[in-house]
Structure 1
Amino acid sequence: MHENIHQNDDVLKMLDSFLREPAPFWDEFFSDREKSIPIFVNAPDENLVSYVEKGKVKRGKVLELGCGPGRNAVYLAEQGFEVDAVDVSKTSLDWAKERADERNLSINFLHQNIFDLNLKHGEYDFIYDSGCFHHIAPHRRMCYIRIVENALKDEGCFGITCFLQGGKLGGADISDWEVYRRGSLMGGLGFTEEKLKNIFHSLEAVEIREMIDRDDPKISFGSSELLTGLFTKRCGEK
């Protein structure tokens, strides 16, 4: 590969190579299913269940960004959503497919980097991200936001679950500039209500709160060390 910068994409790719964990990292991460990792439970996020049960998110076509082992994608498919679920790790997608097959569910799993997706404008009623965004480096944040804004229908919803700043599960309390000084995301960036509102200011905030702790992982997953947010796309937003 030529290490020359001719356009903005070249800058992004250069910074990616310094900061973004490659697919082999995530394949290794998901390879041992017996590890004590909170997101390895086979149950959906409690906030996602709340959105659906309270009618804050209407059934339709959904895109899950960074679906991991598929626990939320499986739940959404069971609730009658048409589900596209993407992840950079083939290992996690194999696990997700097994879970879907066990329940005879049809889910369109995509083995891709989210920044390589070719999405139609206004294709989705709902976009959900549980655990992907806090691993997105600051220089890719605008690309991420454009994906969400472009792919959502007018009045569509965007939901996110991410590290709470300073939380015990992760959530580095460092500035965007400090990421590059250190050359690391420090295991994942942490966010606050104010930060999420500022980052997704083009969307209308419906609800931003800490996740509610859940004791029974067979029903739903919840940890107050995580932050959740639900936004809607205003009519006429691009």
Structure 2
Amino acid sequence: MKDFWNKRYSEREFVYGIEPNRFFAEQLRTLKPGNIILPADGEGRNAVYAAEKGWNVTAVDYSKSGKEKALKLASDKGVEISYELSDLTEYTFGTEVYDAAAFIYVHLPRSIIKKVYQNVIQSLRPGGRIIVEVYSTNQLGRESGGPKDERVLYTEEKLQDLLSGTNIEWMKELEVDLSEGKYHIGKAMVIRVVAKKI
């Protein structure tokens, strides 16, 4: 998979655009800036937006080409982000370091997804917020983006399990109209969540 993402992010344009995910941006505006962790942030559109809003940002991804584009975007926007090049299963997230985290279209194998979520939750301070937007299993068959493997798509029940250790304040599966570069475009079935670490 690393080769897949390096190849995708090596395309000249920002393949998911340079604007932040809309739900992420909406939710971030309701929070007081602090430290935020963004696993699998790819080309850095969400990391850079958070930095523009005053957050101390750490992005983690294993794509070298993604990191290069993220740092260029940050430079173009006049902000700084920390971008760690690492496999999510090997990265040390720490304990009670961050005030917020976001999983924006993070689709990982079942064998590792639970560990990644739990490590990120552990890295949050009590009261820390988690923002999630992911494709649901009902996205299968649509051409608006996302994996074609049901095993790495989400249900509300799966997210409830992954987010154990938090209070889920809001969760909804809905159809949205995506316009995020050339790979997230059109009507899509997603699940959005806001959770708070206990």
TM range (shorter): 0.7 to 0.9
Q: Which of the numbers 172, 188, 213 marks the counterpart of 2:177?
A: 213
1:107 is aligned to 2:81: yes
Q: Which has the higher strand share?
A: 2
Instruction: Report the CA distance shift for 1:143/1:194 in structure 2 as closer, same or farther (over 3 A).
Output: closer
Matches within 5 A, 1:47-66: 47-53=23-29, 55=30, 57-66=31-40
Instruction: Report the CA distance shift for 1:206/1:171 in structure 2 as closer, same or farther (over 3 A).
Output: farther
Mapped contact 2:102–2:130 kept (Cα < 8 A):
yes
Q: Which of the numbers 150, 164, 168 marks the counterpart of 2:136?
A: 164
1:28 is aligned to 2:27: no
Instruction: Report the CA distance shift for 1:78/1:141 in structure 2 as closer, same or farther (over 3 A).
Output: same
Matches within 5 A, 1:78-157: 78-132=52-106, 134=107, 136-157=108-129
Match for 1:191: what amino acid? Y
1:227 is aligned to 2:191: yes
Instruction: Give the fraction of aligned pairs with identical amino acids, expressed as a percent.
Output: 23
Instruction: Report the CA distance shift for 1:223/1:81 in structure 2 as closer, same or farther (over 3 A).
Output: farther
Structure 1: runs of 5+ lacking an equivalent = 1-20, 175-184
Q: Which of the numbers 54, 65, 69 marks the counterpart of 2:43?
A: 69
Structure 2: runs of 5+ lacking an equivalent = none
Q: Secondary structure at the match of 1:166?
A: helix
Can you list the C-alpha shifts for 1:72-120, whole angstroms capped at 9, x where unaligned?
0011000100001111000011011111000110101111111221232
Match for 2:156: what amino acid? E
Match for 1:206: what amino acid? E
Q: Which of the numbers 34, 43, 52 marks the counterpart of 2:19?
A: 43
Q: Secondary structure at the match of 2:89?
A: helix
Can you list the C-alpha shifts for 1:158-204, whole angstroms capped at 9, x where unaligned?
11221121212235574xxxxxxxxxx5xxx2212232123323211
Moved more, 110-119 or 59-68: 110-119
- Distance, in Å, in 2 between the alignment partners of 1:211 and 1:78 is 29
- Distance, in Å, in 1 between the alignment partners of 2:83 and 2:72 is 11
Give, in angstroms, the shift of residue 64 of structure 1: 0.5
Instruction: Report the CA distance shift for 1:117/1:124 in structure 2 as closer, same or farther (over 3 A).
Output: same
Q: Which of the numbers 143, 158, 161 marks the counterpart of 1:198?
A: 161
Higher Rg = 1
Match for 1:107: what amino acid? I
Instruction: Report the CA distance shift for 1:41/1:223 in structure 2 as closer, same or farther (over 3 A).
Output: farther
Q: RMSD between aligned alpha carbons?
A: 2.4
Mapped contact 1:165–1:171 kept (Cα < 8 A):
no
- Distance, in Å, in 2 between the alignment partners of 1:107 and 1:202 is 28
TM-score (norm: length of structure 1): 0.72
Mapped contact 1:163–1:170 kept (Cα < 8 A):
yes
Give, in angstroms, the shift of residue 224 of structure 1: 4.0
Match for 2:23: what amino acid? N
Aligned length: 190
